[in-house]
Amino acid sequence: MSAAVTTRPEAASGWATALGSALRRSGWTLSLLGILAVLLVITKTIQPTFGAAGIQGLAISVMPLALASVAQAVVVIARGIDLSVGSMMALTSVVSAALMEGRSEGFAVWVVIGTLVLGLALGAVNGALVVGTRVPDIVVTLAMLFVWAGCALLVMETPGGASAQWLRGLTSGPLVSTWVPKAAVVMLLIVAVVWIPIRRSRLGLSLYAIGSDPLAAFRSGVSVGRTKIFAYMLTGLFSAVAGLSLTATTGIATPVPGPYTLMSVAAVVLGGVALSGGKGGVFGPIVAVVILSLLRTMMTFLNVNTNLATVVQGAILVGVVMVGSLIQLRRSRR
C-alpha cells in the first residue's frame, strides 16, 4: 500500500525521528529527572550537611511508596485503576511478617516466594472481578480495598511479626560507594527485571493497546479481558513487593493500610502516566515519588511546618495536572 511509498523519504531521517520520538516519549521522565537534580542541588545548598546519609534515608523512606506507584502505574497504563494497592500491601506485609517470625533465614526465602505468589493471586481476584462483573474498576477495587484490609486484620490484629535478617539487609546500607543506597539499587533492579521483559513482549504491547483503545485492541486480536487480568496480577505482584519492602524496612508489619493507595495515584499522574490509559511508564512515577519526598525533606530543613508540606504536595499534584491538561487542550485546538 502507500506505506511503501511513504517510508522512503522518511528513511533518510529515520534515526533522527526515532531519536526524537524516543526523547518525546520519555520527555516527561527526563524533565522529572532534571527537576530532581535541581532539587538535590537546592537541598545541598540550604543544608550543607545533606550527604550520603541523607540520600540513604531518602532511598529507604521512598521505597514502599515508589513500589506502590509502580504497581499502580501498570494497571493505569491498561486503563484501570486499583484502589486496593494499599490494602494488598498491608495484607502481604502482615502475612510475610507473621510467617517469618521465629523461623530460620532459609525458611524466609520460601515465605518471600509465597508472598509474591499471594500478590499475584490477589491481583488475579481483582482482575477477574473487574472483567467478570463488568463493574467499573474503581468500584470493584474500592470494595476490594475493604476486603483485603479486613483479611489483613484477620491475620494480625496489632502490629507485630518480624523480618528475616537477610531481607532487612537488602534494604539497608550502601552498595559499593556510600553514595549508592542499596535500597534504591534493589528496587530498581526488581522493577527492571520484571517490567522491561514484559514491556518488550507482545503482552506489554497488549497492555498499552487496551489502555489506549480497547475496541481497536480487540479488533486487532488482543484478548482484552485476559490482558486486563494480567495487568491486575502485575499490580498485585508489585504490591506484594511493596508489602515486603514495608516488612523489610520497618522490621515489623502493620495490619492497617498506610496512605499508599491515594498517594500512588498521585505519583502515577505526576509521573506522566495518563489516567485515560495507554501512556507513560513505570520509571516516571518512581522519580515523582522521590521528588515529592525530597520536597518534604527540603521543607523540614527550611523549618516549614510539615502540615504546609502536605498542602504543597496537594497543590503540586493539582497544579501539574492542570498545566498538563491545559497543554493537552491547546494541542487539540490547533
Partner 1 sequence: MSVADTADTRRNWLRPSAWANVFRERPIIPLLVILVLLVILSELIRPGIVSPNWAAVMVRAAIPLAILAACQTMTMLTGGIDLSVAAIASMSGFVVATLVNGPGLWVGIAVALAAAAVAGLINGIGVGVFRVHPLIMTLGMSLVVLGLSNVWQLEMVQTGAGVPDLFRRLGASMIGGVVPLSLVVFVPVAAWVLVTLNRTGYGRLLYAIGDNPVASRLAGVKAWQVLIVLYVISAVLAGIAGFLYSGLTNVASVTLVDSALLPSVAAAVIGGTSILGGRGGYGGTIIGALILTVISSLLSSLGYPEAVRQILFGSMIVFVAAAYARVTNET
Q: Which residues bind partner 1 (CB under 8 A)?
A: 81, 129, 133-136, 138-140, 142-147, 149-154, 157, 262, 265-266, 269, 275, 305, 307-315, 317-318, 321-322, 325-326, 328-329
Taking the least distance from each CB to partner 1, the nearer of 139 and 188 is: 139
Taking the least distance from each CB to partner 1, the nearer of 49 and 306 is: 306
Question: CA-to-CA distance for 282 and 12, rounded, in angstroms?
Answer: 32
- Rounded to a whole number of angstroms, the minimum distance from the CB of residue 255 to partner 1 is 8
Taking the least distance from each CB to partner 1, the nearer of 204 and 243 is: 243
Question: CA-to-CA distance for 229 and 226, rounded, in angstroms?
Answer: 5
Nearest Cα neighbor of 251 from 136, 169, 128, 138 is 169
- Rounded to a whole number of angstroms, the minimum distance from the CB of residue 170 to partner 1 is 30
- Rounded to a whole number of angstroms, the minimum distance from the CB of residue 133 to partner 1 is 4
- Rounded to a whole number of angstroms, the minimum distance from the CB of residue 315 to partner 1 is 6
Pairing of β 177-181 and β 174-175: antiparallel
Question: Which sign, positive or negative, has the C-alpha torsion 171, 176, 180, 184?
Answer: negative
Q: Which three cell numbers stand for residue 139?
A: 468500584
Taking the least distance from each CB to partner 1, the nearer of 152 and 231 is: 152
Taking the least distance from each CB to partner 1, the nearer of 241 and 267 is: 267
Taking the least distance from each CB to partner 1, the nearer of 107 and 146 is: 146
b/e map 180-214, b = 16+ CB within 10 Å: ebbbbebbeebbeebbeebbeeebbebbbbbbbeb
Nearest Cα neighbor of 91 from 190, 193, 236 is 236
Q: What is the largest CA-CA distance in the chain?
A: 69
Taking the least distance from each CB to partner 1, the nearer of 97 and 241 is: 97
Question: CA-to-CA distance for 86 and 227, rounded, in angstroms?
Answer: 23
**Residue 291, H or E segment:** helix 283-301
Query: Quick check: 283 and 205 in contact, CB under 8 A?
Result: no
- Rounded to a whole number of angstroms, the minimum distance from the CB of residue 54 to partner 1 is 24
- Rounded to a whole number of angstroms, the minimum distance from the CB of residue 261 to partner 1 is 10
- Rounded to a whole number of angstroms, the minimum distance from the CB of residue 266 to partner 1 is 7
